[in-house]
Amino acid sequence: MVLWFAFRNQILQMAWEKAVAKTAKKGYTLTCADKGFSGIFTVGFDSLHLHKSGNTLLYSQKLSVSVDVWKTIWNGPTIGGIKLLNTRITAVNDETGCNYCGLIEKSERSQKSKDPLVQRIFNLIKRGLDKVPGTIELQNVTAEYRD
């Protein structure tokens, strides 16, 4: 635990730089005014902004995310809670372009699964529910889709 407190800010900085580089490869710009820990496993971002060619996909005045350590041990990185304050999400897919299409990864599956359809549906639902945060707090959040 002492090592976590000693190195968590460096780990956060490395993860942030990786996220910025990954989104930049896809043509997006990811910025925030400030980032840091507000709890043992809670990360906060101030003025988080994701856009492509001046077209804003996400702006959040304050976003904080906590990690569910127990679920992360068993299922990989899992969000325990998310808090959004003064957040605007604008997805656009029209004749001028698509501001979110570059973030959607195409499935690499070329082989058909031999599992029965019922099992595949169950597995899909289970994977989806495992990723839903335990708590979600929204304050002044707007989501818009235009096509």
Q: Enter the pTM of the model.
A: 0.76
pLDDT digits (tens, 9 = 90+) for 28-86: 999 999 999 988 889 999 999 999 987 899 999 999 999 888 877 877 778 889 999 99
Give the dihedral of Cα atoms 125, 78, 87, 23; nearest 10 deg.
Answer: -100
52-58: long-range contacts at Cβ-Cβ below 8 A with a sequence spacing of 24 or more?
52/27, 52/28, 52/99, 52/102, 53/27, 53/97, 55/90, 55/92, 55/97, 55/99, 56/88, 56/90, 56/99, 57/28, 57/89, 57/90, 57/91, 57/99, 57/100, 57/103, 58/87, 58/88, 58/89, 58/90
Distances in whole angstroms, Cα of residue 37 to Cα of each of 51, 65, 86, 98: 24, 10, 20, 33
The 10s digit of each residue's pLDDT in 8-32 is 889 899 999 999 999 999 999 999 9
Q: Cα separation of 117 and 103, whole Å?
A: 28
pLDDT tens digits for 96-132?
Answer: 888 888 888 765 444 567 788 888 888 888 877 777 8
d(CA 93, CA 146): 6
For residue 64, count other CB atoms closer than 10 A to its CB: 19
